[in-house]
Amino acid sequence: MRYLLLSLSFGLAACATSTETASITPACNVSIEDRDWINGALDAWRLTANEITGVTSVRPFEAVFFDDDCVLTSANAFSAATVAQVTWMATPHSGEITLPGGQVMPAGVTSFASADGDHAFFVMSTPSVWRAAGVSNDALGIETMMIGVLLHEGSHVAQFGAYGARITAIEAASHLPGDDINDDMVQNRFGENAEFAASVERETELLFQITNTRDDAQARRLAREARELMRARQARWYTGADAYLAAAEDTWLTLEGSGQWVAYQWIVHPSGGGAERDEAMANFARRGRWWSQKEGIALAFAVDRLAGFDWKRHAFGDGEMTLVEMLDAALADEG
């Protein structure tokens, strides 16, 4: 993988800086390897916006990166025109990270986006932290996999506004604590139900098979079979107090699926990760145990293949349709 090696600069604690003030003694230091990875990841974000999603304008949000000793924060890491124009603040930590909202979390392997009203931020630990914890991806490389993770989570910041009303409705309908409203809530509820899990696995496989056929009619047949299984599963199990999960599942499949799709597209992009598609499919798209990510990306692949409209405008823009609704629209249009 090729990185754009631009130097990050760090100012004194509580004092932002740019490359023009790099001579200031930093409050703490991040290794050259981690700094290079951060620059490469932020450059990947810009490539993705320009060439994959087309979403070049998102609301400003804070970025927080950290290693074992140092926290880097920036208000424009994702929004500056170039990586060279990003400004950073560096502060030491002693095992705990203070988030932009004031919450405190332990320093460790993490990557997530958060939004509350107009306040949004992104948090991620650096490759040195992930390596120390034993995280690996021998096929793609840990750095490449982690950039995919960053692109996935960063995309969610652009989507929170678009799909925020749907998430709010899920919260109201579920009557669950806020911590239980997440992308894995369907799996947490039905993960031990063998029939339910078998249907999810079959639906996912049918959708993935669409990527292996050049026959459009066959692709549509596969998509229809997957949707029939999904409808039957939801009709059987999403009843009574669980009825709200139909809308929740559609929403989380959209967020997780489109986020995974963006990451995959960068991983195989010749100016991005440069990985072979089969390698990226096996070691990223199909990797992992979470239903929302695996069925979600399979659904995104199907929509990308079959939709006769700009589906990314909805998934990363206005949020007017979920991926499930987009697939239904594509199947209803016989062209």
Tens digits of per-residue pLDDT, 267-323? 999 999 999 999 999 999 999 899 999 999 999 999 999 999 999 999 998 999 999
Highest mean pLDDT among 154-168, 174-188, 222-236: 222-236
Looking at the domain assignment, is residue 159 inside a domain?
no
Tell whether 185 and 321 lie within a shared domain: yes
Does 16 score more than 80 pLDDT? no
Looking at the structure, do residues 179 and 326 belong to the same domain, yes or no?
Answer: yes
Give me the pLDDT at residue 315, please: 94
User: What pLDDT is recorded for position 177?
Assistant: 74
Residue 9 lies in a domain: no
Residue 38 belongs to some domain of the structure: yes
Statement: residue 214 has pLDDT above 90: yes
Residue 153 lies in a domain: no
Q: Which long-range contacts (CB under 8 A, 24 or more apart) does 279-288 make?
A: 279/139, 279/140, 280/140, 281/211, 282/139, 283/137, 283/139, 283/140, 283/145, 284/137, 284/140, 284/145, 284/148, 284/260, 285/260, 286/208, 287/137
Q: Are 215 and 77 in the same domain?
A: no
> Could you tell me the pLDDT band of residue 251, with boundaries at 50, 70 and 90?
very high
pLDDT at 15 over 50: no
Instruction: Note whether 47 and 181 are same-domain residues.
Output: no
| Domain-terminating residue out of 85, 108, 135 | 135
Reply yes or no on whether the pLDDT at 22 is more than 60.
no
> pLDDT: is 120 or 98 the higher one?
98
Q: Write down the mean pLDDT value for the chain.
A: 89
Residue 275 pLDDT:
97
124 touches 110 (CB < 8 A): yes
223 belongs to a structural domain:
yes
Q: Is the pLDDT of residue 84 over 80?
A: yes
Last residue of a domain, one of 88, 118, 135: 135
| Domain C-terminal end among 73, 106, 135 | 135
Range 177-182 average pLDDT: 80
The two tokens of residue 99 are 């988030």
CA torsion, ordered 169, 174, 179, 181, to nearest 10 deg: -60
Q: What is the largest CA-CA distance in the chain?
A: 64
User: Within this chain, do residues 60 and 204 fall inside the same structural domain, yes or no?
Assistant: no
127 and 181 share one domain: no
- In this prediction, residue 45 carries a pLDDT of 96
Same-domain check for residues 326 and 179? yes
Residue-level pLDDT at 6 = 24
Nearest-angstrom CA–CA distance, 146 and 310: 28
**179 and 328 co-located in one domain:** yes
Task: Quote the domain boundaries for residue 52.
Answer: 19-135
What percent of the chain stands above pLDDT 70?
A: 91
Q: Look at residue 79 and tell me whether its pLDDT is greater than 70.
A: yes
Total domains, the chain: 2
Assigned domain for 111 exists: yes
| Pair 202, 297 in one domain | yes
Rounded Cα–Cα distance for residues 77 and 98 (Å) = 18
- Does the residue 152 lie in any domain? no
Pair 212, 131 in one domain? no
Q: What is the pLDDT of residues 85-117, one digit of tens each?
A: 999 999 999 999 999 989 999 999 999 998 876
